[in-house]
Amino acid sequence: MSLSVQDLQRIVRTVWSTQLGLELETADAAGLATRLTAGDTVVVKIRFEGRFNGRLEQRCSSHVSLCAAAAAFAVSGRDVGTSDIRDAVSEMAHMTAGNLKSVLPGTCEVSSVDRQVAEDDAGTIIASAGFTFEGEPLVVDVVQTA
């Protein structure tokens, strides 16, 4: 199964632009991944189950997360709460996963993954896309599992 990086980039940029009005700049995913540290990163994982099994992993800096929440709720950054940030970033990941279903083989369902499940799911990254917003990183990986 092959998902092109260009398809992933197009879907992520379209979702963030149409839903939040945020224009993401394409960047090197591997280089950005090193800038995302555990304490300063919001991670959302969405599971694909069906003909394609795997997950979408979206990681973004706290600044990108704050900007997403402020745009989603049409408020200033100082008026955004922690749960607003989690809700907005999770919604972007769900929308991205929903749009990815159209380029994945066969039919599959999407569901949230508890972020504590983190690293114990083995798999192979089949596409990775990196972006910046106001110089801050956002990385989206699609991982295929058995």
Q: Look-up: residue for tokens 């801050």?
A: 136
Count Cα neighbours of 113 within 13 Å in the Cβ-side half-sphere.
23
Class of domain 5-144: alpha beta
143, 125 Cβ separation under 8 angstroms: yes
Q: What is the pLDDT of residue 105?
A: 82
C-alpha to C-alpha distance for 53 and 104, rounded to whole angstroms? 10
| pLDDT one-digit tens code per residue, 66-81 | 999 999 999 998 899 9
> pLDDT below 50 — which residues of the chain?
116-118
Q: What is the pLDDT of residue 100?
A: 95
pTM of the model: 0.91
Q: What is the pLDDT of residue 23?
A: 97
Can you say how many angstroms the Cα of residue 25 is from the centroid of all Cα atoms in its chain? 14
Domain spans of the chain, in order of start: 5-144
73, 92 Cβ separation under 8 angstroms: no
